[in-house]
Structure formats: C-alpha cells, structure tokens
Structure 1
C-alpha cells in the first residue's frame, strides 16, 4: 500500500509541475493540454490518496495508471510529440472511467 501512496503523491507533484510549466512557458493548445492533463492527473492522484487505505487497491492502481496515460499523452503532445498521440488520450480516459466503476462495484 505504501507504493500506491508514494506513486499517487509523485503523480500529484508531476501534475502541479505540468500545470505550472504550461501556465508560464506555453500558450495556446499546448498550454491547454498541460492544464487539462495536470488537472485530471491531480484530481485522480488525490482520489487515490483518499482511498488508499481501502481494500480495493487493484482499482486504485487502475485509476492511477489511467490518469497517467491520459496526462502523459497530453504532456507529450505539448512538448512536440506527434499529434497521433491524441488518439491514445481517450484510452486513458476510458481506463479512468472503468476504474471509478470498479471502485463503485467494490463498495457494494
């Protein structure tokens, strides 16, 4: 469980750094990608931290992974990666949705 907490905290730190970097270094869609990725990553990192003591650790890992995939593709495009990565971003979103549904199911 400590690894999950450490990764969630690291994820939150990366999200804040990405948002700050986007606000001060970029303009236009690159800044929007960094803000959007940072927002989703931060929200989900905090959610994982809040739920880390629960018995449902597998869906939390899924939530953290989905938010990382979602944000990483946006960050990569902001820094010049090929735009086709934008087709991968919704996969991370779908994984986050699935993780939230899994958490809801686990709480039944």
Structure 2
C-alpha cells in the first residue's frame, strides 16, 4: 500500500538524518548517556521504518499487515520520538511514553506474524 511505503521511506530518511545529527552534532553537546538514548531511538526508528516498507509490499496479500503498519508508525512516534526528546531535553517524564511505543512495536510484529500464519 502506497501510504505505508511513503511513511516507511520518510522514516528512513529522517532516521538517517537524525543519526548523522546525533553522530556529528550532538556528540559534544549532550552527555554520553543521553547520546546513547538518542542512538537507541534512531536504531529502532530505522528498523521499524524498514518494517513499514515490508508492510507496504505485503499489505494487499497478508491479512492484518495494515494494522501492523499502524502499530509500527505509532511505535516510532511514541518510542523513538520520546527518546529523542528525552536525550535533547533531559526531561525524564518523557520516558513514560517509551514503553508504550515498545508495546506498539511488539503488537505490530505479532499482527504481522498472525497475518503470515493466515496465508494459505
């Protein structure tokens, strides 16, 4: 489905840009522990943006793939973006959102698994 492909490609584009920003722009600006938090956000965003490209290719053939795409998108928004904000601001309360994003990632993987199991 076109929408998942666009969101996935945009996620990859932003993930690479944010990774470069972290590696070159933040290294001297924030403490190492917060830089590590930022890098974890980038890593999970890139992995799940790739998963969105998989969803884009399979959405019409694999049941529940569209719902998995929604879960991946929400996961990136909640997990990765809360980690970016936490790393940049140091606001610890943002960490409350991170596990919700992780649950969204897991739900997306589970839905994709069920979709593949339903294929004949």
TM-score after normalising by structure 2: 0.82
Residues 48-91 of structure 1 show CA distances to partners (whole Å, capped at 9, x for unaligned) of 10231223212112112212211000111122152111121011
Listed as ranges, the matches of 1:20-99 within 5 Å are 20-27=20-27, 28-54=32-58, 55=60, 56-80=65-89, 82-99=91-108
Tell me what 1:3 maps to. Answer: 3
2:17 paired with 1:17:
yes
Q: Size of the alignment, in residue pairs?
A: 108
Q: Distance in 2 between matches of 1:40 and 1:12?
A: 11
5+ unaligned residues in a row in structure 2: which ranges? none
User: Higher Cα Rg: structure 1 or 2?
Assistant: 2
Over the residues paired in the alignment, what is the CA RMSD in angstroms?
Answer: 1.4
TM-score after normalising by structure 1: 0.90
Residues 7-28 of structure 1 show CA distances to partners (whole Å, capped at 9, x for unaligned) of 1111111111111111112241
Comparing 35-44 and 11-20, the one that deviates more: 11-20
Q: Distance in 2 between matches of 1:88 and 1:52?
A: 26
